[in-house]
Structure 1
Amino acid sequence: MQTQVSTQSPIHRSIPQPSYVPVIEDLIACLKSGLKESLHSVYVYGSVANGTAIPNVSNLDVVLVTHAPFSASQKSLFNSINWRFQKDFPFVKGLAIRTALVSEVASLSALFTWGFLLKQCCTNVYGEDLSECFGDYVPSWEIAKQWNMDIEQSAAMLRKEVALAEDAPSQVDAQRRLAKKLLRAAYGLVLHKTKRWLDDPLESGQVFLEYYPQREQTVERLGILLGRRVIPKRSVVGLVDDFAPWLVKEYQKTEFKIG
C-alpha cells in the first residue's frame, strides 16, 4: 500500500507544521519521477517529523529505501533535488538523505540499526512502512551502543569540520552537529537505566546529568554550541578533546559490565 502526504492523513500526526507539507510532497514527486519502480518507501525524521523545525535553521532529514542500488544517473538526482529546494523552499536549511535497500532494512541484522531508526524516529510518508516489520522496542544498552560506539570516529570527524570551517554559518552548523552528537551519545550511556526515548539533545543532556553530575559544565557548554553564535574554535576543539575520550572510556566500561 502506498501512502501520499496529506494534511488529512493520519501519517501527518507527527508533522504538524503545515509549511513543510509542500516540501515533502515535492520531494516525493521528484523521487518517484527519478527512481520510478525502484522507489520503495520514504521516511522523515528529526525536527520536521517532530514538529520542532525552525525555518532557515533546520534540515529536512529523510530516509530513502529502494529496491535496487542507485545507478550513476540516479545519483545525480540528489543534486537536482537540492538545487530545486534551494530555489523553491529556501527556508529549508538543507536536505539530508540516508539511503538503504529493502533487503538491508528488512533483515534480522538491522534490528538495532535501521529497525530502531524507522520504528522510533521516523514517520513514513510514502510507500510500504517497513517499521511494521519490527516489534516494540525496549530501550536497551544494545541499541545505545549500536548508535554510539563510533563516537571516537564521529567526534573526530565533526571536530575537523569545526576546525576547517571557512565562514561563520559553516562553523555554526558544524558546532550544532557536534553538540547534538555528543549530547545524544552521553544520553546513550544511561538509556538502559532511564528506559525512555529522548530526541531533544538538551533534554538528553539534563537526564544524563542525573547520573553524571560531575559533567555539568560540559553539558552547559554543549548547550551553548547548540545556539547560533560562533564560538572560538580553540574552545570547541578543547571541549571535544576532553569529552570525547571520556565518552569512549565510559562506553568501554559499560560494555564490559553489561556485555
Structure 2
Amino acid sequence: MILSPIDPKQPLQTEYSQAVADLVSALRTGLASNLHSVYVYGSVARRCALLHRSNLDVIIVSHQSFAQQRTTLFNTIKWQFQKRYPHITEINFKTAMVSEVASLDSIFSWGFLLRHCAMCVYGENLSECFGDYEPSWEIAKHWNMDIEDWLAVYRNRIARAKDDQELHKSQRIIAKKMLRASYSLVIPRDRNWYDSPLECGKHFLRYHPEMQVEVERLVIMLSSRVIPKRSIIGMIDSYGDWLVKQYKKTEFRIG
C-alpha cells in the first residue's frame, strides 16, 4: 500500500489558520533570507486539533544554522502566541538545514515526516524531493525503536513531577508514544500508517486483542484526567517492558 500525503488544498481549521499565518510572518521577519520553508505537522496539519488541548507542531528549514538567535526567536514567538492564541497549548519547533533534509540519509526521517506527516505552509516544498512511501519495518523502527529511552526519561519525569500540570503533560506525552509504538510493531502486517494515538491503539488491538486493558489505560492517560503517579509508572514498568522486548524480537527477526 502506498501512503497518501496530507492534502494541502484542504483548508486548516479556522481557529488555527490565522495562527499559522502569523507564525510564518514572525519567522520571515526573524530569519529573513535564511528561511527556506515552513511546515506544520501533527493534529493541526491533519485538521483534527482540539482547542486548549492540541499543540502547534512546526518544522523550520533554513539555509544556514541560526543557533545563536534560536532561543530568543522561539521564546518571543511563544510569548506572543500565549497572548493572541490561548487555545494553542504549546508550540513545538523542529529545525533543520536544507542540506540535512535533501539527503539520502534522511529518507526515513525528514523525508517521511515531510512527505506523509506534514504540510508546507511557506517556501519551497522539500517533500517533493521524495517519492511516496510504503509502510515498512524500516519506517516503524526509525520512529519508535527509541521507545526504551523514552520510557526511562518519562518514568523519571513523572516520578519527579512537582504538580498536576507537569504530571498531566508527561502522562499524555508518554501515552501517545506508547500507543504509536504499539502500532508500529504491527505495521509489517497491517501495511498502513496512523499518526493519531487513538487510531494506533485501535488497529494494534486487531493483532493483539490480549492487550485490550493496557490500551484502554493508555487512552485514559490521554484524557484530561490526572492519573496517580504509581499507576503511570506501573504501566511504564509492565506494558513498557513488553513493548521494548517486542521491538528487540521484531528487529532480530526482520532486521
- Give the TM-score normalised by the residue count of structure 2: 0.94
TM superposition shift of 1:243: 1.6
Instruction: Give the alignment's Cα RMSD to 1 decimal.
Output: 1.2
Structure-2 separation of matches of 1:134 and 1:211: 31
2:79 aligned to which of 62, 83, 87: 83
| 5+ residue gaps, structure 2 | 1-6
**How do 1:150-165 and structure 2 match up within 5 A?**
150-165=146-161
Once the two structures are overlaid, the 10-residue window that deviates more, 197-206 or 131-140, is: 197-206
Q: Does 2:225 match 1:251?
A: no
Corresponding pairs, count? 249
For 1:31, give the aligned amino acid.
L
Structure-1 separation of matches of 2:242 and 2:216: 16
2:200 aligned to which of 187, 198, 204: 204
**How do 1:93-242 and structure 2 match up within 5 A?**
93-242=89-238
SS at match of 1:111: helix
Structure-2 separation of matches of 1:59 and 1:83: 15
The answer as to whether partners of 1:68 and 1:101 remain within 8 angstroms in 2 is yes
**How do 1:23-38 and structure 2 match up within 5 A?**
23-38=19-34
Structure-1 separation of matches of 2:56 and 2:12: 14
In the TM superposition, what whole-angstrom CA distance separates every residue of 1:76-124 from its partner, at most 9, and x where no partner exists? 1001001000111111100000111111111001001111111110011
% of aligned pairs identical?
52
In the TM superposition, what whole-angstrom CA distance separates every residue of 1:136-192 from its partner, at most 9, and x where no partner exists? 100000000011111100122122222222222222121111110000001000111
Structure-1 separation of matches of 2:193 and 2:145: 18
The answer as to whether partners of 1:35 and 1:74 remain within 8 angstroms in 2 is no
**Residue equivalent to 1:6:** none
Structure-2 separation of matches of 1:46 and 1:71: 24
In the TM superposition, what whole-angstrom CA distance separates every residue of 1:194-219 from its partner, at most 9, and x where no partner exists? 11121211121121111112211111
Compare relative contact order (CA 8 Å, sep 6+) and give the higher one, 1 or 2. 2
**Residue equivalent to 1:11:** 8
Structure-2 separation of matches of 1:28 and 1:236: 38
Once the two structures are overlaid, the 10-residue window that deviates more, 118-127 or 69-78, is: 69-78
- Give the TM-score normalised by the residue count of structure 1: 0.93
For 1:158, give the aligned amino acid.
Y
Structure-1 separation of matches of 2:164 and 2:67: 36
Structure-1 separation of matches of 2:134 and 2:106: 16
TM superposition shift of 1:12: 4.8
| 5+ residue gaps, structure 1 | 1-9
